[in-house]
Amino acid sequence: MTNLAIECSGTAGSVALFDGDICIAYADLDPKIGSVKTLAGAIESIVRTHDQPKYLSVTNGPGSFTGLRVGLTTAKMLALAWNIPVVPVDTLQATALRAFGAVCSEWADGESVAALFISVINAYRGQVFANAVRFNTFGELVVAANSTVLDAPLWLSDPVGSLGLLTERPTQVWISGPGLSSYTLPSGTLPSEKLPSEKLPDSHTSVLAPDVWQPTAREVGMLGNRGMAAGKATSSLLLQPNYIRASAAEEKRPQLKS
């Protein structure tokens, strides 16, 4: 079945069309303009030369409030107009999948199972969104720590332990995500540099290069395919964002007394 994937968790984003497991069309949105003005045109260009997709997949958070709203609103309208289901995809899981794709060719299958992938997004106000996943021998994502919000100093001091993985002793930790452009790990870490870690004495911790920090619609489409097969699709009316934390404006909004 065909799957139209939308990724708008940041300032720009991308769109992809899958036929089964094969990506048959892809377009990056112009980061200088933003998804508000470019998303509809990119989708129209792809759909015009292909049949209407059988379902949609879209990042539903965490990420930029504006970007997520643009992507989710577009997905909801298209799903309603086309009468097709939509699969919500966790942004940090899509980030981890891109990281895995960048390094998995270096390992044998058994080594990939032992590695831990940590993804991070800037949540602003001195906080980050982070998660941790592994990949099994079939390349399937297995959640080790769900996406959550953490104080940035806490996460920076212990990227693994701050996610509640105190007993974990992975042989390799890979860290990626657009949040790394705002927060630097200890010792002035450079991309792809090996990090010493007192918290993980038996592990190697590495930061991936910036060109794979941002998830794309390719990863969203791949996770959307798996979500569809697992029965995680929903309707346009039931599709909801997963902001994890309310925006500053929402937190300041006066609460109505009951």
Rounded to whole angstroms, how far apart are CA atoms 184 and 147? Answer: 20
Say which residues have a Cβ less than 8 Å from residue 139's Cβ, sequence separation at least 6: 100, 104, 112
**What mean pLDDT do residues 40-65 have?**
95
Question: Which has the higher per-residue pLDDT, 41 or 32?
Answer: 41
| Per-residue model confidence (pLDDT) at position 172 | 82
| Per-residue model confidence (pLDDT) at position 83 | 97
| Per-residue model confidence (pLDDT) at position 157 | 84
6-31 pLDDT per residue, tens:
999 998 899 999 999 999 999 999 98
- Please say if the pLDDT value at position 194 is more than 80: no
238 — pLDDT class (breaks 50, 70, 90): very high
Looking at the DSSP assignment, which residues form a beta bridge with residue 132? 118, 145
Look up residue 186 and give its amino acid.
P
Phi-psi domain of 186 (left: phi exceeds 0; alpha: psi -120 through 50; beta: other): beta
- Please say if the pLDDT value at position 171 is more than 80: no
| Per-residue model confidence (pLDDT) at position 195 | 40
96-141 pLDDT per residue, tens:
999 999 987 655 555 556 789 999 999 999 999 999 999 988 889 9
Find the largest Cα–Cα distance for the chain: 59
pTM metric for this prediction:
0.89
Rounded to whole angstroms, how far apart are CA atoms 9 and 119? Answer: 14
